[in-house]
């Protein structure tokens, strides 16, 4: 479990540290060739077409991360978590090599390199979920640690940027990404030597398997002529099976503790207010319902807002505050706050989701999102920092709430299909982020206000419709 937390911290979601990596790429003159002759002669710090191409790199990576969840699940179900982890290590290695070689030889390896880094993350991260079954009594803690590692992995590029600055820019991306190859090699080694080939079973699955009386009878029994011996062998198997059930039950705790846990789960279901609304229905029927349509629209809008902000935070505040230095300070604060916010929000999210109704949680999401939107259009430094603090706490809260909603409303039988489709659609439609970026840079001459106001009001309308329904 500890090893999985370490490699998730180093690889699971590093592409979301884009805001920290972007200044390094600008200093290294990546995509500088897209600047016009006049812009190059004027030696502008970053031109608009350069900005758009850099942000496109992140947009494609963010889309791939979300869409990739569907094939990752299929690989894990069919071939096991080890194969998924090995695939992830190769994808990460390819991404790092492309980035390193692009820096050295100047070919277009940045977008595909970042894409492969984005694809490798889910293969490594999602295959680690099954490790929560290694210690059933602490499964929630293990999942929180893995999720926290994912959120904090954006700090990898922050650490690199600090080293890059401290060495007076003498540690270029080529050297960093060659050094980063240590990470996929480490993941490959632990997958082959340490991690399980098949997913750990839940306690419920172990009990069901152990309680199956068919395990008492083997085909080889027909080859034994002495029926007394056959009965004795079957009795021994039955005793062993019952012993396994007892050991599993002991692992979980007493029957009294089980009853208390069941009562606690039932209490949470009643508090939610939406538990079981569409349980037992087919995935196709669930997908046609307003429950699915509204949460998907909400997810699309919010995910677009989140990724647009991550990609354009510095040019937005540079325009609104009319100060490059202030924008750099805000960007630096954001780079630190993003991974820290992910860690701090983990226990708070659990408390809110377990003790309040789903309509209340969705209403809280809409309220916070609206507040973030309002703060995001105010041209003041205090508003920028308040916006970032709320944003880094809101981001993991939003992602967790969507999965919690899907589980409570649609049920676990169709969870993979329905939730996967929601995230995949949101990811694909996030390609519109590139268009919004181009609109801000060229259509509105770098002014983020029209785009931000449009996203704010769209999110508010869709959010109110979801909560009202």
Nearest residue to 245 (alpha-carbon basis) of 217, 211, 213: 211
Note the pLDDT of residue 104.
74
Q: In this structure, what are the phi and psi dihedrals at residue 244, rounded to the nearest 5 degrees?
A: -65, -45
Note the pLDDT of residue 206.
46
Which residues in the chain land under pLDDT 70? 106, 132-133, 136-141, 143-144, 199-230, 233-279, 411-416
Yes or no: say if 121 and 12 are a contact pair by the CB < 8 Å rule: yes
How far apart CA 335 and CA 227 sit, in angstroms, is: 73
Please provide the size of the chain in residues.
Answer: 469
Nearest residue to 425 (alpha-carbon basis) of 408, 442, 402: 402
Whole-model pTM: value is 0.74
Q: What is the CA radius of gyration of the chain?
A: 25
Q: In this structure, what are the phi and psi dihedrals at residue 196, rounded to the nearest 5 degrees?
A: -70, 145
How far apart CA 200 and CA 132 sit, in angstroms, is: 8
Give the SS3 label for residue 445. Answer: coil
How far apart CA 469 and CA 128 sit, in angstroms, is: 36
Note the pLDDT of residue 88.
92
Chain centroid offset of residue 403 CA: 11
Nearest residue to 375 (alpha-carbon basis) of 275, 463, 453, 300: 453
Q: Which residue has the tokens 């996030």?
A: 430
How far apart CA 347 and CA 338 sit, in angstroms, is: 16
């Amino acid at each position: 479990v500890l090893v999985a937390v370490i490699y998730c911290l180093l690889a699971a979601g590093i592409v979301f540290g884009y805001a920290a990596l972007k200044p390094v790429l600008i200093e290294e003159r990546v995509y500088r060739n897209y600047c016009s002759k006049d812009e190059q002669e004027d030696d502008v710090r970053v031109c608009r077409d350069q900005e758009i191409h850099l942000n496109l790199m992140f947009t494609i990576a963010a889309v791939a991360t979300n869409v990739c969840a569907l094939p990752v699940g299929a690989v894990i179900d069919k071939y096991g978590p080890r194969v998924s982890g090995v695939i992830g290590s190769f994808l990460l290695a390819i991404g790092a090599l492309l980035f390193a070689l692009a820096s050295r030889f100047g070919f277009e390896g940045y977008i595909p390199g970042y894409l492969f880094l984005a694809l490798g993350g889910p293969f490594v991260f999602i295959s680690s979920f099954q490790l929560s079954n290694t210690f059933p009594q602490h499964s929630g803690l293990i999942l929180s640690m893995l999720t926290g590692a994912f959120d904090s992995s954006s700090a990898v590029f922050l650490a690199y940027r600090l080293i890059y600055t401290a060495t007076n820019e003498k540690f270029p991306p080529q050297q960093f990404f060659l050094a980063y190859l240590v990470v996929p090699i480490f993941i490959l080694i632990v997958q082959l030597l340490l991690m399980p080939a098949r997913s750990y079973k839940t306690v419920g699955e172990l009990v069901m398997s152990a309680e199956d009386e068919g395990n008492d009878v083997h085909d080889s029994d027909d080859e034994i002529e002495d029926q007394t011996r056959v009965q004795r062998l079957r009795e021994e198997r039955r005793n062993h099976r019952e012993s396994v059930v007892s050991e599993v039950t002991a692992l979980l705790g007493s029957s009294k503790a089980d009853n208390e846990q069941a009562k606690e789960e039932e209490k949470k279901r009643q508090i939610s207010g939406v538990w079981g609304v569409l349980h037992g229905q087919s995935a196709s029927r669930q997908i046609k319902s307003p429950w699915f349509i509204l949460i998907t629209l909400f997810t699309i809008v919010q995910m677009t807002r989140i990724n647009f902000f991550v990609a354009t935070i510095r040019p937005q505040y540079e325009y609104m505050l009319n100060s490059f230095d202030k924008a750099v300070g805000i960007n630096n604060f954001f780079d630190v706050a993003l991974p820290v916010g992910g860690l701090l929000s983990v226990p708070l999210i659990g408390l809110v989701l377990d003790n309040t109704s789903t309509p209340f949680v969705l209403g809280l999401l809409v309220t916070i999102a609206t507040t973030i939107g309002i703060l995001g259009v105010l041209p003041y430094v205090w508003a920028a920092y308040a916006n970032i603090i709320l944003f880094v706490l809101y981001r993991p809260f939003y992602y967790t709430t969507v999965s919690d909603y899907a589980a409570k409303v649609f049920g676990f039988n169709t969870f993979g299909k329905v939730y996967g489709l929601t995230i995949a659609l949101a990811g694909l439609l996030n390609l519109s982020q590139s268009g919004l970026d181009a609109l801000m840079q060229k259509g509105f001459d770098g002014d983020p206000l029209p785009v931000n106001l449009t996203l704010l009001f769209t999110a508010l309308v869709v959010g109110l419709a979801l909560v009202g329904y």
